Amino acid sequence: MTSPPIQWYPGHIAKAEKALKEQLKLVDVVLEVRDARIPLVTQHPLVSQWTGSKMRVLVLNRVDMIPPQVRQLWIDWFRREGETPYFTDAQHGKGTAAVTLAAQAAGLGVNQRRSDRGMLPRPVRAVAIGFPNVGKSALINRLLGKRVVESARRAGVTKQLRWVRISEEIELLDAPGVIPAKLDDRDAAIKLAICDDIGEASYNNQQIAAEFVELLTYLEATAGNFLPKSPLRSRYGLDATNVTGEDYLLTLANEKHQGDTERAARQLLNDFRKGLLGSIPLELPPN
């Protein structure tokens, strides 16, 4: 029997969800932030319920980590689904101005209703929600143009909710990452772990690194033209074809890390997360 890839902390999740629901009562617009490497896996199942009738702006962050052709495939796919995705690289401030405009436009109705009732306009209020580590804080910092919200490589850094005023027109709320209380899809759980988008949930590096190697082999076979050529061989000089992920990891450990499998696993995952293996999309639009 294989152990579940990720161990969840339901108490922590329930607390985060409760806090978020309270904050959602205060906002006009929801910025739903997802990871462009895995746009469907980082769709939180409760966001549409939480958003209700509020306006939502869909942000696919980390666009720098996927190839431009794949970004175009997603744009086409989301359009067919009736959605407009905003692609951003919050790290370098790319695409973020369009998000501000979209949030402002989404909030226009609020001030229309206020003025209809003889009330003064107020800034539109928005919240950024999404899985841990997808780049919510980095995005908000970019929208603001300065670093006011803590953003870090470690997942789960954002603990508290804070309002920040972006302009006279818009106020934003940063929020802690939310992960589903249950995740039955094993492949999705593995991709979340590979991308480091699951915050304080825990997993085994070696198991996830081995899965990553096998996922790469699968992606090269099924979507090879969207991937860099042999990313593992290019970086480590070791071919991954016809070996299990576990064997690859053991070989990598022996060749590069004096047999230390844990270090080999961490190097693999870190190299991917830093983009050192090239831009590798872990998910493509269905069909």
Ligand X SMILES: Nc1nc2c(ncn2[C@@H]2O[C@H](COP(=O)(O)OP(=O)(O)O)[C@@H](O)[C@H]2O)c(=O)[nH]1
Size of site (CB under 6 A) for ligand X: 20
CB of 130 to ligand X, least distance (A): 6
Among 104, 151, 207, 267, contact with ligand X (rule: CB under 6 A): 151
Nearer to ligand X, 252 or 283 (CB): 283
Residue 130 tokens read as 């999404």
AA identity, residue 36: A
Q: Which residues inside 148-207 make contact with Mg ion, applying CB under 5 A?
A: 158
CA atoms within 13 A on the CB side of 74: 27
Among 58, 124, 127, 134, contact with ligand X (rule: CB under 6 A): 134
* Residue with token string 């980590």: 65
135's contact among ligand X, Mg ion, none, with CB below 5 to 8 A by partner kind, is: ligand X
**Which listed range, 60-68, 114-122, 210-218, 238-246, lies at the site for ligand X (CB under 6 A)?**
60-68
CB of 92 to ligand X, least distance (A): 7
AA identity, residue 114: R
Give Cα 98 to chain centroid, integer Å: 19
CB of 259 to ligand X, least distance (A): 31
243 binds ligand X (CB under 6 A): no
Q: Which residues inside 64-93 make contact with ligand X, applying CB under 6 A?
A: 64-65, 89-91
* Angle at alpha carbon of residue 191, lines to 10 and 92, rounded to 5°: 100
Q: Which residues inside 140-159 make contact with Mg ion, applying CB under 5 A?
A: 158
Nearer to ligand X, 104 or 158 (CB): 158
> Within 10 Å of residue 258's Cβ, how many Cβ atoms?
9
Q: How many angstroms separate the CA atoms of 172 and 149, rounded? A: 11
> Within 10 Å of residue 220's Cβ, how many Cβ atoms?
20
Residue 103 tokens read as 């949030």
Of 48, 2, 51, 57, the closest CA to residue 25 belongs to 51
Nearer to ligand X, 90 or 194 (CB): 90
CB of 257 to Mg ion, least distance (A): 32
Q: How many angstroms separate the CA atoms of 16 and 7, rounded? A: 17
Which residues of this chain interact with ligand X, rule CB under 6 A?
61-62, 64-65, 89-91, 132-138, 151-153, 157-158, 177
